[in-house]
A and B are shown apart, each in its own frame.
Chain A
Amino acid sequence: DVKVTQSSRYLVKRTGEKVFLECVQDMDHENMFWYRQDPGLGLRLIYFSYDVKMKEKGDIPEGYSVSREKKERFSLILESASTNQTSMYLCASRRTGRSIYTFGSGTRLTVV
């Protein structure tokens, strides 16, 4: 069964901490994406990567960075967490040229 795995289901971090959210896929997909999901706002694209070591900003990249050193792993980094980054974070992947994304189960991050 193909999978996108997010390392943590729930996280609580303090304001100012550096936070790493990890995502691993086992489908050999080239493209990977990070979204955040908030009530009333839906899914918003933070960053995406079309291949190893490549990254592009999405619609709301401010306050975030990403790392893609290996094809199967895409990390989202909050350099200095703030309370407005409290959200559900969803990772997704897809094969190049295909429309269907496969999602991870999400990480619910609370910044206090």
Chain B
Amino acid sequence: EDKVVQSPLSLVVHEGDTVTLNCSYEVTNFRSLLWYKQEKKAPTFLFMLTSSGIEKKSGRLSSILDKKELFSILNITATQTGDSAVYLCAVSGQSGGSNYKLTFGKGTLLTVNP
């Protein structure tokens, strides 16, 4: 059975801090790892990672994948209150069938205080 574990489950920081969110996984026939941000409603896509060691970056957010050690990190620098959200890690793998589907971790709840 595919498994995705995120840590920490929750985190409280002050504006301006840098945070690192972790995601480890066990999946059959790994295809890709995705990060989503979820505020009050729909999860919105942040990054998709398929290759080890290549950093994806978007503004103050960045992410990298280690396929040997089976984990990814999401970094947020100079945090702002608008970064407060649940961050979801999901892995696309092929388990028990011919089609790929996403398995999600439980999420990390990030709270950024002013």
Contact = CB atoms under 8 A, between A and B. Distances in A.
A33 interface: yes
Task: Give chain B's interface secondary structure class.
Answer: strand
Interface residues of A, number: 21
A112 interface: no
Interface stretch (A11-19, A64-72, A73-81, A96-104): A96-104
A106 B42 contact: yes
Interface size class of B (residues with CB under 8 A): 20 to 34
A100 B45 contact: yes
Given A99-B32, A100-B48, A90 B42 contact: yes
Contacts of A106: 41-42
Nearest to B41: A105
A50 B99 contact: yes
Contact of B34 (A33, A42, A90, A100): A100
Given A42-B106, A43-B88, A100-B48, A33 B42 contact: no
Interface of A: 4, 33, 35, 40-45, 48, 50, 56, 90, 99-106
